[in-house]
Amino acid sequence: MTIPPDDRSFRREMATAYRSGWHFIDLATAIPHSGDSLMVTVFGEPVVVTRDEDEDIRAYRCLRRPRGAPQPVRCAVRYGMIFVNLDQRDHRIPRPEAPAAEIIAATPRSA
């Protein structure tokens, strides 16, 4: 028989294992016009996904504090699907900067 985790360990596991990734929200066609928005709950946090005047899709975390401004959330649209990442840390792999003399322009063989 397994013992269910207590609330504190469950929240810690959710924060470390699941929240730090990119999560599918909906298709971009769900908010087709500028000014349209979509409210979803991601791991217990309300997130508003909206399309602005420039037709860009942005996501904001709704803070529960009074007078709290919406906090931007990293948002990406790939293949017509909207993904959000609630983690504030940057998970990009740092690339070593190559000196300008070592950059070689490659051309395809068919050119």
Distance from C-alpha of 15 to C-alpha of 9, rounded to nearest angstrom: 10
The whole-model pTM stands at: 0.63
Query: 85: how many CB neighbours lie within 10 A of its CB?
Result: 19
Percent of the chain exceeding pLDDT 70 equals 63
Instruction: Give the best-scoring range by mean pLDDT among 88-92, 93-97, 103-107.
Output: 88-92
